Amino acid sequence: MPDYLEAIAKVIYREWKSAGQFTGKNHPDEESLACFAENKLSGKDKEIVQKHLISCNICAEYVSVQLKIQPHLSLDLPLPLEEKIKNMVIRGSKENLFEIFLKLKDKALEIIQTSGDVLVGQELIPAPVLRSRQINEFKEEISILKDIQQLRVLAKIQNKNSKKFSLAITVKDKLSQKTYKNLRITLIKDEIELESYMTDSGSSFFENIPPGDYLVEVSREGQKIAVIDLKVKA
């Protein structure tokens, strides 16, 4: 019976989609916006989405995030929309992006670059201050924190054996320090989701990760609220 219902649902969805889901009054769904960002919409639907994006900052912000985390995407846009999206990408790259670049050593971690503050004992120290103090190497575990709009994102990285590392992500409200509920935290490599968890505790844990370039996306109710650009080399 479930397979039968699923088949019916797919038929209904195809009919609904072929009828044209854009009315100009409502927001396009997330799939449609993703298809727009990847240049996969038909000419008519693409034109309707473009008109919607010019007047809707919410949907334009979504597309700008897609272009920011997938820089290979290229869109041919009307000039007013191109400027709007470009400005959102530039602004969003500063507001939503948390960069961490580390090196695994035998029993230590070396900070190469980060846009966050490093927790040293009970003190949070900006990375440039650490460099001025000639401190960039830490034993086995390091905690890096960054405020992103109303969020406080903590990334805790632990060196397992210079070949693998673990990553714990915790998200709290910047002012109240309460954890966020209904969060999805996703680990991505080469545009492929490796692990993804829904959490009401505001925390997720990923382990046995080999060195490489990763993205960690934090989303809530389908909207990305933070992106961590994590690069770890051996």
Domain-wise residue ranges, the chain: 2-94, 96-233
Give the chain as a DSSP string: -HHHHHHHHHHHHHHHHHT----SSSPPPHHHHHHHHTT-S-HHHHHHHHHHHHH-HHHHHHHHHHHHH-TT------HHHHHHHHHHHHHHHHHTEEEEEEEE-SSEEEEEEESSEEEETTEEEEHHHHHHTT--EEESEEEEEEEETTEEEEEEEEESSSS-EEEEEEEEETTT-PBPSSEEEEEEETTEEEEEEEESSSEEEEEEEPSEEEEEEEEETTEEEEEEEEEEE-
104 neighbors 162 (Cβ within 8 angstroms) = yes
Rounded to whole angstroms, how far apart are CA atoms 67 and 35? Answer: 12
Q: What is the pLDDT tens value at each position of the chain, 234 positions in all?
A: 445 555 555 554 454 444 444 444 577 877 788 788 888 888 888 888 888 888 887 777 777 766 665 655 666 777 777 777 776 665 555 557 899 999 998 888 999 889 899 998 888 888 778 877 788 888 889 999 999 888 899 999 999 776 899 999 999 988 888 887 889 999 999 989 999 999 988 899 999 999 999 999 998 887 888 899 999 998
| Residues 6+ positions from 145 with CB-CB distance below 8 Å | 116, 117, 118, 119, 124, 152, 153, 154, 155
Torsion of CA 25, 74, 82, 78, to 10 degrees: -70
pLDDT at 42: 82
CA atoms within 13 Å, Cβ hemisphere of 74 = 1
Q: What's the fold here for domain 96-233?
A: Immunoglobulin-like (2.60.40)
Closest residue by Cα to residue 187 from 221, 154, 222, 228: 228
Is-above-0.75 flag for pTM?
no
pLDDT at 21: 46
pLDDT at 102: 93
pLDDT at 95: 59
pLDDT at 16: 42
Provide the 10 A C-beta neighbour count for residue 229. 17
